[in-house]
């Protein structure tokens, strides 16, 4: 997929999640955002188990055999250096709570859920220290 098509597909996904407030039970999590982005860029990620809380999400992650979100992403995608990210790639940033946060590269900014704006949906986040990045 060329960069123009990646950017167009990424913008469609981000726009869809901008109006979806964060919600464990409503499909408004960074994991749902990441899965939608993977599908938009022609990957075939597994279905996300239903969960209704942070505890349920943690249990689902462990049931899938992963200790954390980095392990889950490592099992599906090639890890890259954060400086090598293209528009549409995924990154993991330090979260404020129990989980770190998966974000989508939207050029100079990242798009994702932010603890100070969970009721607004996905917002632009200034890129800073990454835990890891993955190529889509």
Structural domains in the chain, sorted by start: 3-134 (3.90.1720.10)
Question: What's the length of the chain?
Answer: 136
Q: How far is CA 113 from CA 22, 65, 69, 135, in A?
A: 7, 25, 15, 20
pLDDT tier at 33, thresholds 50, 70, 90: very high
Q: How confident is the model at residue 114 (pLDDT cuts 50, 70, 90)?
A: confident
Query: What local confidence, expressed as pLDDT, does residue 96 receive?
Result: 74
pLDDT in tens, 57-106: 999 999 999 999 999 999 999 999 999 999 999 999 988 777 899 999 99
115 vs 19, 41, 74, 121, 124, CA distance in Å? Answer: 16, 27, 25, 10, 12
Running DSSP on this structure, what letter comes out for residue 103? E
Q: How far apart are CA 113 and CA 35, in angstroms?
A: 14
CB 103 within 8 A of CB 30: yes
130: which residues sit within 8 A by CB, 6+ positions away?
82, 91, 92, 93
Only one residue has tokens 């995608």, namely 77
In the predicted model, what is the mean pLDDT of residues 11-34?
Answer: 94
Query: Token pair for residue 32?
Result: 């749902």
Percent of the chain with pLDDT over 70: 100
Residue 23's contacts (CB-CB under 8 Å, 6 or more residues apart) are 29
């Amino acid at each position: 997929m060329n960069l123009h098509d990646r950017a167009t597909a990424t913008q469609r996904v981000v726009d869809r999640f901008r109006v979806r407030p964060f919600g464990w039970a409503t499909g408004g999590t960074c994991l749902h955002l990441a899965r939608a982005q993977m599908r938009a860029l022609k990957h075939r990620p597994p279905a996300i188990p239903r969960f209704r809380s942070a505890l349920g999400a943690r249990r689902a992650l462990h049931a899938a055999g992963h200790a954390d979100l980095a392990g889950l992403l490592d099992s599906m995608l090639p890890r890259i250096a954060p400086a090598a990210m293209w528009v549409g790639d995924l990154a993991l940033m330090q979260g404020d709570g129990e989980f770190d946060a998966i974000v989508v590269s939207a050029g100079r900014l990242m798009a994702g859920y932010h603890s100070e704006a969970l009721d607004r949906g996905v917002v632009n986040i200034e890129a800073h220290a990454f835990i890891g990045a993955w190529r889509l």
